[in-house]
């Protein structure tokens, strides 16, 4: 089976090499001539988007999706989808797979209709569609791509991920299948959780500095990674057991926040957490108005 990878950057390059190591037949397509030449110099098969390419049964789109002025920019994705759409051959039972990070709803509301529009083909009947988020770490791209912890396949319809699951069996790692939207959302939950954790410890580091504890910060963070259940139990906090409760967590958050405010210490994350907890307790589904002139003023 011939596989095309569109975008030979961090993700596309590492993923394609991991597939090649399992014996897959990969052709890369990249709009950057230097990247294409680089791959060719290594004896790999790569082309520019306007060069002839063989129709494939699997297309993985790994192009960039930057955020520009707060909005996801989809030019690279649109261009690569347009090209792939013209190459689809229903007799090959093709599957189009997006690996780029895209916002919830993008696959079903935009990408699939766009492929149908350009190709004149119909989802399910002529082609399958999968959203398969990438979890690799940029600095460890090659190692992560060749030994992934887990794969998440968002399927347009049940069974659309079959061809992808088959090649992933060679790479290894558990495969979980969900809807398109669930997979799109999961990728943002994944990234935002990592951001939250880094941000939290950065804020706590500033507090420790103010208490002249810089020399001991590493030690207390290291102990926290052993003492806090949220660190050592991966399932902690992920089940729907209602708002933060118990004898300690709510009272200690409020006391610590008051203590910080009285010392002109700032923790936007803890302030937001306090707001989030009261929102959960009152079952509000939107954050309170933070601006001046809110109804409680
Ligand atoms: N870098 C990471 O660590 C990482 C991890 C997980 C997910 N992601 C996501 O994966 C996606 C790709 O990220 P990346 O870091 O590999 O990006 P990248 O910038 O390294 O690579 C993108 C490649 O796509 C090529 N390209 C752009 N438009 C094209 C087109 N029309 N046709 C063919 N090729 C085209 C570019 O020339 C470039 O080589 C993004 O959505 C990113 O958010 C990245």
State the pLDDT at residue 294: 31
Closest protein CA for atom 11 of ligand 1: 100
CA of 260 to the centre of ligand 1 (A): 42
In degrees, rounded to 5, the angle at the alpha carbon of residue 248 between the alpha carbons of residues 247 and 254 is: 115
165 occurs within a structural domain: yes
Residue 176 shares a structural domain with residue 256: no
State the pLDDT at residue 293: 34
79 occurs within a structural domain: yes
Residue 11 shares a structural domain with residue 140: yes
205 occurs within a structural domain: no
**Structural domain ending residue among the three candidates 162, 187, 212:** 187
**Res. 289: pLDDT tops 80:** no
Closest protein CA for atom 39 of ligand 1: 9
**Res. 292: pLDDT tops 80:** no
**Res. 8: pLDDT tops 80:** yes
Indicate which atom in ligand 1 lies nearest the CA of residue 102: 41
Cβ contacts of 22 within 8 Å, gap of 6 or more: 167, 170, 171
Closest CA to 29 of 75, 76, 74, 72: 76
Pocket test for ligand 1, best of 4, 5, 6, 7 (most atoms within 8 A of CB): 7
Q: What's the CATH number where 108 sits?
A: 3.40.50.720
Residues 128/57, Cβ–Cβ less than 8 Å: no
Q: Taking the alpha carbons of 290, 293, 294, 297 in that order, is the dihedral positive or negative? A: positive
Structure tokens at 155: 């399927």
Domain residues for the domain of 116 are 2-187
Distances (CA, A) of 154 to 55, 67, 112, 164, 237: 23, 22, 13, 11, 24
Count of domains for the chain: 2
State the pLDDT at residue 288: 52
Average pLDDT along the chain: 94
State the pLDDT at residue 243: 84
**Res. 290: pLDDT tops 50:** no
CA of 6 to the centre of ligand 1 (A): 9
Q: What is the mean pLDDT of residues 51-64?
A: 95
Q: What is the DSSP letter of 106?
A: H
Instruction: Give residues (CB < 6 A) around ligand 1.
Output: 6-12, 29-32, 35, 49, 62-65, 76, 79-80, 100-101, 134, 136, 138
**Structural domain ending residue among the three candidates 154, 170, 187:** 187
233 occurs within a structural domain: no
**Res. 33: pLDDT tops 90:** yes
pLDDT band at 150 (very low <50, low <70, confident <90, very high): very high
CA of 10 to the centre of ligand 1 (A): 6
State the pLDDT at residue 282: 81
CA of 12 to the centre of ligand 1 (A): 7
State the pLDDT at residue 275: 92
Q: What is the mean pLDDT of residues 98-105?
A: 98
Residue 169 shares a structural domain with residue 268: no
**Structural domain ending residue among the three candidates 126, 158, 187:** 187
CA of 62 to the centre of ligand 1 (A): 5
Among 119-133, 177-191, 262-276, name the one with the lowest average pLDDT: 262-276
Residues 165/176, Cβ–Cβ less than 8 Å: no
Closest protein CA for atom 13 of ligand 1: 64
Q: What is the mean pLDDT of residues 152-174?
A: 97
149 occurs within a structural domain: yes
Q: What is the mean pLDDT of residues 256-269?
A: 95
């Amino acid at each position: 089976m011939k596989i095309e990878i569109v975008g030979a950057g961090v993700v596309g390059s590492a993923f394609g090499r991991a597939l090649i190591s399992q014996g897959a037949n990969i052709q890369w397509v990249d709009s950057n001539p230097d990247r294409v030449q680089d791959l060719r110099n290594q004896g790999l098969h790569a082309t520019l988007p306007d060069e002839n390419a063989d129709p494939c049964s699997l297309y993985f789109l790994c192009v960039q999706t930057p955020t520009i002025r707060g909005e996801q920019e989809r030019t690279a994705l649109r261009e690569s989808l347009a090209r792939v759409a013209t190459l689809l051959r229903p007799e090959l039972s093709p599957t189009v797979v997006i690996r780029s990070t895209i916002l919830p709803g993008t696959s079903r509301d935009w990408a699939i209709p766009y492929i149908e529009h350009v190709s004149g083909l119909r989802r399910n009947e002529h082609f399958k569609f999968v959203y398969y988020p990438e979890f690799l770490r940029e600095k460890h791209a090659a190692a992560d791509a060749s030994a992934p912890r887990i794969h998440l396949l968002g399927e347009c319809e049940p069974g659309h991920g079959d061809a992808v699951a088959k090649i992933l069996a060679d790479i290894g790692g558990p495969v979980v299948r969900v809807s398109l939207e669930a997979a799109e959302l999961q990728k943002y939950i994944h990234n935002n959780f990592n951001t939250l954790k880094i941000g939290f410890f950065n804020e706590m580091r500033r507090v420790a500095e103010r208490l002249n504890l810089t020399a001991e910060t590493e030690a207390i963070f290291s102990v926290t990674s052993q003492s806090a259940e949220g660190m050592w139990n991966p399932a902690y906090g992920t089940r729907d057991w209602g708002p933060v409760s118990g004898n300690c967590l709510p009272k200690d958050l409020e006391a610590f926040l008051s203590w910080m405010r009285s010392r002109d210490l700032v923790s936007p994350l803890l302030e937001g957490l306090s707001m989030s907890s009261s929102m959960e307790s009152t079952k509000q589904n939107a954050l309170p108005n933070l601006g001046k002139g809110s109804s409680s003023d």
